[in-house]
Chain A
Amino acid sequence: MSLLAFFGWLADLPWSIDLHESQYAYSIIESIHVWTMAVFFGSVVMFDLRLLGWTMRKVPTSEVLDRLLPLTIAAFVIMVVSGTLLFFAIPLRSYQNIFFRGKMLLLLLAGLNVWIFHSRVFPKAAAWDVEGVPPRAARLAGALSLLLWIGVVVSGRMIAYNWFDCDRQPQPDIINFLTSCVATESGQ
């Protein structure tokens, strides 16, 4: 079964339709998603700014991380749960949404950056923990994190406004290719 067929099947499940058509559930879940995004993004940015040496220079980097990380992780878990529900409310159209695809790609890269930072860069932090401006590798991780998460937030917001929707043809071939869209009924 192709992914397209699988998400089409999901979209026809009664509880997917219920969630999509609900009067309040969808809006409430989306609100939770946005509010926890603000907490997540806010705490990530504050840590990234510390890594760049742009704020709280007198506070050891590890202390900023220790204090913010539990909040960051809690918010991330809530975002993944609420985000998954939002996806299941609109599976097929999200799957074919170019902004959704972009967001997933950026999310993957942001995750990779987190993994590299925590496995390679941060374990050596004892040497520069109290320094106002951390070394290049740490600053690079901070800058990448900032850019990637900004990309995730921006593309995430665009999902709801998708002006490259598969149902809105004609679209450039490259868009239909990138979104696995087979334009059947054409507005041409």
Chain B
Amino acid sequence: MSLLPFFQWCYQSQIGEGIRESTWLFPVIEAFHLLGLGLTVGAVLIVDLRLLGVGLSRQPVAQLSAGAEPWLLGSLTLMFASGTPLFLSEATKCYYSFPFWVKMTSLFLVLLFTFTVRRRVTRTGLTSDRPLLGRFTALISLGLWFGVAWGGRWIGFS
């Protein structure tokens, strides 16, 4: 089954149409999407750098990740809330866009990874005697997030 009819339905939705008809709605929503991106990167980096052993090394990982998590969840909410209308306004373009699919795949994987493996690794203090585990976790997290950021930027160029 092709997803194309669903994407076309999204494109024809009232929200999508409203955004296309406005000069400033798309840029303004996109600006909020970018702010969310920055906040996400901040909340991710503070923990991943610690896991890599380059930042805040005197703080327990579990404590840092507990501090960063509400901000991660908040920024992800902002990303979804702004990303969905952006998608609706150009859904059919997204369907044919390779970067879009890279982004969605990476996003799915990174969310899955973050709220299963990474959460377990950071919460349980597993890394104190196994620093390599922490490094791998951080590298996978950062790599997948870069996939999201690459795809996100290149949707606009395609």
Give the B-binding residues of A (Cβ under 8 A). Answer: 27, 30-31, 34-35, 37-46, 49, 55-59, 63-64, 67-68, 71, 150, 153-154, 157-158, 160-161, 163
Asked whether any CB of chain A lies closer than 8 Å to the CB of B42, the reply is: yes
Contact (Cβ within 8 A) A42 B39: yes
Contact (Cβ within 8 A) A68 B55: yes
Contact (Cβ within 8 A) B39 A158: no
A63 to B40, CA, bound (A): 21
Given contacts A31-B153, A31-B154, contact A64 B56 (CB under 8 A): yes
Contact (Cβ within 8 A) A37 B38: yes
A153 to B39, CA, bound (A): 12
Given contacts A46-B43, A55-B68, contact A34 B34 (CB under 8 A): yes
Which B107-154 residues have C-beta < 8 A from chain A? 146, 149-150, 153-154
Which B21-64 residues have C-beta < 8 A from chain A? 23-24, 26-28, 30-32, 34-35, 37-46, 49, 54-56, 58-59, 63-64
Contact (Cβ within 8 A) A153 B153: no
* SS class, residues of chain B in contact with chain A: helix
The interface on chain B, measured as residues whose beta carbon lies within 8 A of the other chain's beta carbons, has a size of: 38
Contact (Cβ within 8 A) B67 A38: no
Residues from chain B with Cβ under 8 Å of A161 in the complex: 23-24, 26-27
Closest residue of B by beta carbon distance from A68: B55
Given contacts A43-B45, A56-B64, A154-B35, contact A38 B149 (CB under 8 A): yes
A63 to B26, CA, bound (A): 39
Closest residue of B by beta carbon distance from A64: B56
Partner of A42 from the list B28, B32, B42, B153 (CB cut-off 8 Å) is B42
Closest residue of B by beta carbon distance from A31: B153
A35 to B68, CA, bound (A): 20
Contact (Cβ within 8 A) A158 B27: yes
Closest residue of A by beta carbon distance from B60: A58
Residues from chain A with Cβ under 8 Å of B31 in the complex: 153-154, 157-158
A64 to B45, CA, bound (A): 12
Report B26 CB to chain A, min CB distance, Å.
7
Residues from chain A with Cβ under 8 Å of B32 in the complex: 154
Asked whether any CB of chain A lies closer than 8 Å to the CB of B95, the reply is: no
A49 to B67, CA, bound (A): 11
Partner of B67 from the list A27, A45, A55 (CB cut-off 8 Å) is A55
Residues from chain A with Cβ under 8 Å of B42 in the complex: 41-46
Interface centre among A42, A44, A153, A163 (most CB of B within 10 A): A42
Closest residue of B by beta carbon distance from A27: B157
Residues from chain B with Cβ under 8 Å of A158 in the complex: 27-28, 31
17 CB < 8 A contacts A-B: A34-B34, A41-B41, A42-B40, A43-B45, A45-B39, A46-B68, A55-B67, A59-B64, A63-B56, A63-B58, A64-B56, A67-B49, A68-B46, A71-B55, A154-B28, A161-B24, A161-B27
